[in-house]
């Protein structure tokens, strides 16, 4: 497994006080060993979080988890910078500001996969480690960042595709509701799904973006159902919101979700699990958003110059029945 060792020269960009607090205290997850002066603003490790911002229940859960993990009590000063209307330029501007400010670490959840090389090279020159959260970059150059922390989109989508093939051994017409064009997650989920259904009896009728939105998922599904005379037996929605919107469209078309049309989604939010329990969805693969503790551990290791794997996969679970959904609903955090 590929690994990279980052010897960051901490004295050059953090300072002796942060080094003493951050490495002695934060690497262990608390400030108990930091000494009597711990807790002051000057002792905190500064983390710039270049975030996506409002984009549905999964994103909200993920970003809240990061914010609740990188706290002052843990020894961090987290600077949260969500994108403006999912605009990449606003993210690049925030990233540049963090580099100019001289933060100790940058966490990046990119709205778009491409266009990050110059920003990452600038951070590298400033000896500021960058950790990718959720989304990867294209072209992928692991020398420009510490690691990527995320569930494996290809594996997750492949599992959805394998379920679909087993569910329809004699074939079915299907449509795909995709996230925004240009996002690496979309490409990865298409790759995994296509690998699983290739050579099967499933027939792709259409694939169209619905921008992660329930409203657009509904309207796109309505259009595609009408265009194909309601002759659609399967819908793969690349996130829960689009799948929930598709379920509404199916019902309004006089069809029954889970009977006439099977709907599979990715994310595993509470709303989707409730819909699976109610039979409106047929298959939901979790895309676990709760990896703040993993990010905390990675940041501590990066600041120490320790070895970090170039891709840390977050375990995620598949749910293929109402009973499976009901078994986790009581404890669902998002």
**pLDDT digit string, tens, across residues 77-106:** 999 999 999 999 999 999 999 999 999 999
Q: Are residues 12 and 108 in the same domain?
A: yes
Q: Are strands 262-267 and 283-286 parallel, antiparallel or unpaired?
A: parallel
Q: Which residue has the tokens 């659609």?
A: 232
Report the range of poorest mean pLDDT among 4-13, 170-179, 296-305, 313-322.
Answer: 4-13
Peptide bond before 46: cis, by omega within 30 degrees of 0? no
pLDDT in tens, 249-267: 999 999 999 999 999 999 9
Q: What span, in angstroms and rounded, lies between the C-alpha atoms of 243 and 216?
A: 10
Has residue 12 got a pLDDT over 90?
Answer: no
Q: Are residues 95 and 49 in the same domain?
A: yes
Q: What span, in angstroms and rounded, lies between the C-alpha atoms of 48 and 91?
A: 11
For 9, the 3-state DSSP assignment is coil
Q: Are residues 31 and 167 in the same domain?
A: no
Domain membership flag for residue 320: no
Q: Are residues 171 and 270 in the same domain?
A: yes
Q: Are residues 220 and 259 in the same domain?
A: yes
Q: Could you tell me the pLDDT band of residue 22, with boundaries at 50, 70 and 90?
A: very low
Quickly list H helices, the chain.
10-13, 16-24, 57-69, 88-101, 117-125, 153-167, 184-197, 214-227, 240-252, 270-277, 292-304, 322-329
pTM of the shown model: 0.83
Q: What is the pLDDT of residue 41?
A: 53
- Which domain CATH number covers 274? 3.40.50.2300
In angstroms and rounded to an integer, the radius of gyration of the C-alpha atoms of the chain is: 22
- Could you tell me the residue range of the domain that residue 68 belongs to? 3-150+289-313
Q: Are residues 141 and 157 in the same domain?
A: no
């Amino acid at each position: 497994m590929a690994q990279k060792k980052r010897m960051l020269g901490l004295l050059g960009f953090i300072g002796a006080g942060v080094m003493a607090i951050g490495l002695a205290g934060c690497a262990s997850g608390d400030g108990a060993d930091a000494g009597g002066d711990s807790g002051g603003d000057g002792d905190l490790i500064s983390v710039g979080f270049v975030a996506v911002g409002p984009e549905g229940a999964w994103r909200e859960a993920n970003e809240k988890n990061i914010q609740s993990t990188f706290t002052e009590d843990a020894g961090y000063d987290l600077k949260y910078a969500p994108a403006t209307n999912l605009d990449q330029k606003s993210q690049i501007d925030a990233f540049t500001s963090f580099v100019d400010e001289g933060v100790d670490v940058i966490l990046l959840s990119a709205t778009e996969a491409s266009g990050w090389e110059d920003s990452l090279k600038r951070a590298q020159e400033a000896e500021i480690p960058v950790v990718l959260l959720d989304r990867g970059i294209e072209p992928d150059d692991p020398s420009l960042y510490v690691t990527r922390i995320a569930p494996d989109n290809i594996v997750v989508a492949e599992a959805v595709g394998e379920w679909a093939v087993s569910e329809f051994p004699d074939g079915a017409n299907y449509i795909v509701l995709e996230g925004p064009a240009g996002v690496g997650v979309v490409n990865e989920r298409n790759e995994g799904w296509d690998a699983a259904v290739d050579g099967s009896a499933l027939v792709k009728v259409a694939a169209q973006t619905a921008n992660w939105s329930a409203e657009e998922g509904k309207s796109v599904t309505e259009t595609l159902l009408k265009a194909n005379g309601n002759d659609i037996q399967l819908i793969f929605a690349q996130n829960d919101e689009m799948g929930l919107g598709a379920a509404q469209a199916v019902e309004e078309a006089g069809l029954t979700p889970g009977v006439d049309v099977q709907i599979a989604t990715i994310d595993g939010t509470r709303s989707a699990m409730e819909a699976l329990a109610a039979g409106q969805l047929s298959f939901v693969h979790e895309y676990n958003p709760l990896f703040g503790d993993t990010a905390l551990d990675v940041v501590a290791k990066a600041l120490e110059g320790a070895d970090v794997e170039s891709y840390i996969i977050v375990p995620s679970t598949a749910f293929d029945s109402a009973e499976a959904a009901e078994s986790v609903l009581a404890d669902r955090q998002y």
